[in-house]
Amino acid sequence: MFAGSAAALAHLNAATGDVDRAVSGLLQVAVSEPDRPWGASAPWLVPGLAARLDPDAFAVDVMQAAQTLDRTLGDERLSAMGPFAELTRAMTAAHPEHGVLLWASAAFMRRLGAFDEAVDWASLAWTLEQSKPAAAVLGGVWRRMGREADTVELWTSVLRDHPDDVEMHVDLGELLARMGRFDEAEEWIERGLAIDPAHPTAGPAVHGVRWARDHDVAHLVALADHLRAHPDHPYALHLLTGACEGTWLRHVPLPTEAVTKLLPVLVEKGTPGDAEGIRFDVSALEVPSAVRAVHLLYPRLGVTVQSVREPDMRVPLRAGKYAVWSYPSGETQARPVPGPPAPQVAAAVAGVAGPAWTHPAAAYDQAVLLAGCPLGDLLGALVHPPAVPEATADGLPLGREHAALWLRIVQVWACLGIAHHKADEPWEGSVRREVLVDLAFGPEDWVSDAALFALVATAWLVPDVRDDVAELVGNRFLDAVKATQTREVSVLSSLADLVLATPSMPPALRDLARRCRDAEDGEPEHTSGRVQAQPEPDRPQRRSLFSRWRRGSRGDRSRS
């Protein structure tokens, strides 16, 4: 029901004397909308109510509240939860030997940032009942306070007495990984997998630890494969989403060419669309899409190229059938080959185009909406993008000054649409492969790496194409590296990120790509012991403490 209706029902229950149901209902409303002072609106919600509440029922309520909150609230939200915190303190004071109430309250108060109280209550609960949930909560609070070594010692001792607890194997393994002890971490999680090979968190967790250890994208692809095979395992998606960061794993690359930096200046100055009399000199030829992005807004802007350096970026690296750019003999201004797409195709591309995705396989899946678009129209969208919208499909605000980024975004999604063209054809010899390869090895351009990303996203989902895609991406990257010996290659960093995102890429090429990225960033991007794949200490709850308690309890202390 609506939050207001649920709160009204809680007030009615309080008025009729059903305080357990009243507290439960209002607490559910409060944690679902922690920005609003639901507790302060209830004059009956006072610490003295503790004498009338069932401690078993209250324990279930605060357990569920802790799971709903997931993470520690910010300071601005804590005041709204104040009345519930005071009631929790009163309940623990009234029932100092109720172990379940103590550790459940500790889990709740941890979410409210009251770490000292949380650790005191969880420690007392552990002393009283030596239960696995008490140990899990106590370790969680210690970990949040930076006491990782104490947590490792506690959980190791618990697993000696309860070797079948797969969840604690995973918790311990992930904690050890966060501490940089990756081999031990993997060993503990694999022990849990041996107990239950189908466990919904152990399988994803081992891939997460391996990714944290060596940053081989194969482990992320394994997570994507696991999620596809087990869509009911949300922890795999949580780990995959947390690990996929940076260019191509999460988002399109930003334009870096000199001519694109002119756009915000022209827009800010209110330059008329004809840009009469304005010329822009570049020291060397830049990729045609960068110039096209400026000309979409200012078609009469003059761009003077002072030099064309070798190897000539206008010349395709491989002869091909499909192309979107051509350079008339001796000219430095590229001309679009295909015409504009049909309006309905332009609208379809704009309808899915966004700068980011949760992971490459998800981008490929989303682009299936373009599977029915004619190939010629998708090629046309690469050089004749829809008008810059006020916001992208996923809500990113845009303006005219973002025309270059918008073209980048459109090109990526149009290529992903091409990856779905005649998807029933065998990969080798298919039209979709031929088109994407021709674009990738055509004149150097943003279209080149957009086409390569479509190949990479396909490889994330189709094991049979991974070796082929790795060879294509690797060769295109090596061509770019060779070109940097005599001229600048503005897409080199993007191509290096593509190498790092490609399954089955040879280690030597991955290492070369990392060195290129390190040189670009000025600092190492990949270091041993850096844990990106592991969730932060306040990660979303993966399982119900309530269900763990129920499995371990002798009696059913829950209420319906």
| Mean pLDDT value across the chain | 90
Contacts of 3 (CB under 8 A, 6+ apart): 29, 32, 33, 36, 38
Q: Under 8 Å CB-to-CB from 184, ≥6 apart: which residues?
A: 173, 176
Residue 92: other Cβ atoms inside 10 A: 25
CA-based nearest residue to 72, from 25, 40, 108, 24 = 108
Answer whether residue 32 is part of any domain: yes
Q: What is the mean pLDDT of residues 50-71?
A: 93
Hey, is 422 helix, strand or coil? coil
- For the cut 80, the answer to whether the pLDDT of residue 543 exceeds it is no
Which string of DSSP letters, residue by residue, matches 116-180? HHHHHHHHHHHHHH--HHHHHHHHHHHHHTT-HHHHHHHHHHHHHH-TT-HHHHHHHHHHHHHTT
- Within-domain flag for 465: yes
Domain annotation covers residue 240: no
Cβ–Cβ contacts within 10 Å for residue 160, how many?
8
Q: Give mean pLDDT, residues 479-505.
A: 97
The encoded tokens of residue 546 equal 């309530």
Please give the helix or strand (H or E) that residue 498 lies within, else none. Answer: helix 492-501
Lowest-pLDDT choice from 48-57, 124-133, 198-207, 535-544: 535-544
Of 203 and 302, the one with more pLDDT: 203
Q: Which of 99, 117, 135 is the last residue of a domain?
A: 117
pLDDT at 234: 93
263 vs 26, more confident: 26
**Could you tell me if residue 530 is inside a domain?**
no
User: What is the Cα Rg of the chain in Å?
Assistant: 29
- The domain boundary residue, chosen from 82, 117, 152: 117
At 336, give phi and psi (nearest 5°).
-65, 140
> What's the token pair of residue 485?
């010996």
Asked if residue 280 lies in contact with residue 302, where contact means CB atoms within 8 angstroms, the answer is yes
| Whole-angstrom distance, CA of residue 44 vs CA of residue 14 | 7
Write out pLDDT tens, residues 346-378.
999 999 999 999 999 999 999 999 999 999 999
pLDDT value of position 474: 98
**pLDDT at residue 213 above 80?**
yes
Q: Would you put residue 222 in left (φ > 0), alpha (ψ -120 to 50) or beta? A: alpha
More confident residue, 545 or 531: 545
What number is the average pLDDT over the span 495-523?
A: 92
Residue 145 has pLDDT above 50, yes or no: yes
Position 526 pLDDT exceeds 90: no
Q: Which burial class, exposed, middle or buried, applies to 272 when counting CB atoms under 10 A from its CB (0-12, 13-18, 19+)? A: exposed
Q: What is the pLDDT of residue 522?
A: 66
Mean pLDDT value of segment 479-492: 96
β-pair type (325-326, 302-305):
unpaired
**Cβ neighbour number for residue 301 with a 10 Å cutoff:** 22
What is the rounded CA–CA span in Å between residue 355 and residue 453?
13
The percent of residues in the chain predicted with pLDDT above 70, rounded, is 92
- pLDDT at 558 (0 to 100): 29
Structure tokens at 333: 């201004």
**Res 532 pLDDT > 80:** no
Q: Nearest-CA neighbor of 461 among 183, 223, 288?
A: 223
Calpha distance 473→502 (Å, rounded): 8
Residue 186: band (very low, low, confident or very high) from pLDDT cuts 50, 70, 90: very high
CA–CA separation, 458 and 103 (whole Å): 47
Chain-centroid distance of CA 513 in Å reads 22
Task: State phi, psi for 325 to the nearest 5 degrees.
Answer: -125, 145
Is the bond into 311 cis (omega within 30 degrees of 0)? yes
pLDDT at 429: 95
- The residue segments making up the domain with residue 450 are 258-323+333-521
Model confidence, pTM: 0.84
Q: What gap in Å lies between CA 180 and CA 193, rounded to an integer?
A: 21
**For residues 265-271, average pLDDT:** 85
pLDDT band at 270 (very low <50, low <70, confident <90, very high): confident
Residue 537 has pLDDT above 60, yes or no: no
Both tokens of residue 534? 């592991």
Q: Using one digit for the tens of pLDDT, what is the confidence trace for 368-408?
A: 999 999 999 999 999 999 999 999 988 889 988 999 999 99
Residue 394 confidence (pLDDT) = 85
What value does the mean pLDDT take over residues 144-154?
Answer: 95
C-alpha of 147 from chain center: 28
What is the sign of the dihedral through the CA atoms of 152, 155, 159 and 165? Answer: negative
Once rounded to an integer, what is the mean pLDDT over residues 466-473? 98
Residue 64: the pLDDT is 95
- 527 pLDDT more than 50: no
Checking if the pLDDT of 553 tops 70, the result is no
- Total structural domains within the chain: 2
Rounded to a whole number of angstroms, the distance between the first and last alpha carbons of the chain is 19
3-state SS class at 34: coil
Question: Does residue 130 lie within any of the structural domains?
Answer: no
DSSP codes of every residue in 241-263: HHH--SBTTTBPPPP--GGGGHH
Which pairing describes strands 279-282 and 302-305: parallel, antiparallel, or unpaired?
parallel
Angle at 294 between CA 291 and CA 298, to 5 degrees: 125
Residue carrying the six token digits 């409060």: 30
Last residue of a domain, one of 87, 117, 147: 117
**Domain annotation covers residue 38:** yes
pLDDT band for position 330 (cuts 50, 70, 90): confident
Q: Look at residue 533 and tell me if it is in a domain.
A: no
Residue 171 located in a structural domain: no
